[in-house]
Amino acid sequence: MSTRESFNPESYELDKSFRLTRFTELKGTGCKVPQDVLQKLLESLQENHFQEDEQFLGAVMPRLGIGMDTCVIPLRHGGLSLVQTTDYIYPIVDDPYMMGRIACANVLSDLYAMGVTECDNMLMLLGISNKMTDRERDKVMPLIIQGFKDAAEEAGTSVTGGQTVLNPWIVLGGVATTVCQPNEFIMPDNAVPGDVLVLTKPLGTQVAVAVHQWLDIPEKWNKIKLVVTQEDVELAYQEAMMNMARLNRTGLQDQQCSTIWYEKQSLALEAQRYPSHTPLRDCCQGGGGGPSYCSESHVHSLHCKVFLSQRLVSLNS
């Protein structure tokens, strides 16, 4: 997708101070319950999580249920499996159309992480903020829906339904479903030393969109304005929006720890080996006092050692 012009609220007869990200108090994946808390809450649903894989004509039909981002369920029609995922996020960028595309890509990314390249159907889950004026709702929500629809069509699928409700905060998400043969998906339980971890975008998206919001918050912007320019922030923000596909709901660390939890193995990651947004590196060197994570606060609780080689700005400071 080519670079998109910055969203101008006045072009849609909205106040120039309109910001989509102000219709939520948490940003992006901040809506997610920490993994350790989630596991406790879902204990009653996990009784059948590790039930044995099924067999069809001598072939193993894997089953994957509670605890991972995508479920794999053998169908009663032999030889086929249902692969399904659901996800949602709060607004992280102020362009409604791009936010719709990001929400769709966020849902599809969990299918792609399973090696599934085709999606048979999508549903859209939409929470409309009851704090929006009628004009804001009527101008903004259709743009979000159009962005979601366009991204789904580019992925070769379509949106056939969903659910729309009123909510204090804007909520954007959906359900992605496909029916596969066993050779059309990859179970996340066979990683071995030497395997390649494929990143679908440079790291730094969450930092880029957060720092962009700091431009309107003097006390935060003053912390980093000596090491990064407004032009760099705008460039990183635009690049981040173009890289809409997110690796997983809580970032690279949680993606790896989810896999480790399933595999019962350990892993260490070296941050200096990750590709990152070039304009963002100055943003990530503005903090002090030792390393801190550029992610939601619950990432600190992950049972995974991540070695950071840079001094990163904490988004929660």
Residue 81 in 3-state DSSP?
A: strand
Summarize pLDDT for 60-106 with one digit per residue, the tens: 556 666 667 888 888 887 788 899 999 989 998 999 999 999 999 98
What's residue 282's pLDDT? 54
What's residue 71's pLDDT? 86
Angle between the 205-214 and 230-242 helix axes, to the nearest 10 degrees?
Answer: 140
Residue 307 CA to residue 67 CA, distance in Å, equals 26
Q: Which CATH class is domain 9-184?
A: alpha beta
Domain residues of the chain, as ranges? 9-184, 205-307
Burial tier of 86 (Cβ tally within 10 Å: 0-12, 13-18, 19+): middle
284: Cβ contacts below 8 Å, ≥ 6 apart: 204, 207, 276, 294, 310, 311, 312, 313
- Under-70 pLDDT residues of the chain: 1-4, 28-31, 46-67, 200, 244-317
What's residue 134's pLDDT? 97
124: Cβ contacts below 8 Å, ≥ 6 apart: 145, 148, 159, 161, 162, 163, 173, 174
What's residue 86's pLDDT? 92
Chain length of the chain: 317
Q: Which residues have a catalytic role annotated?
A: 31
178 bridge partner residues: 83
What's residue 25's pLDDT? 86
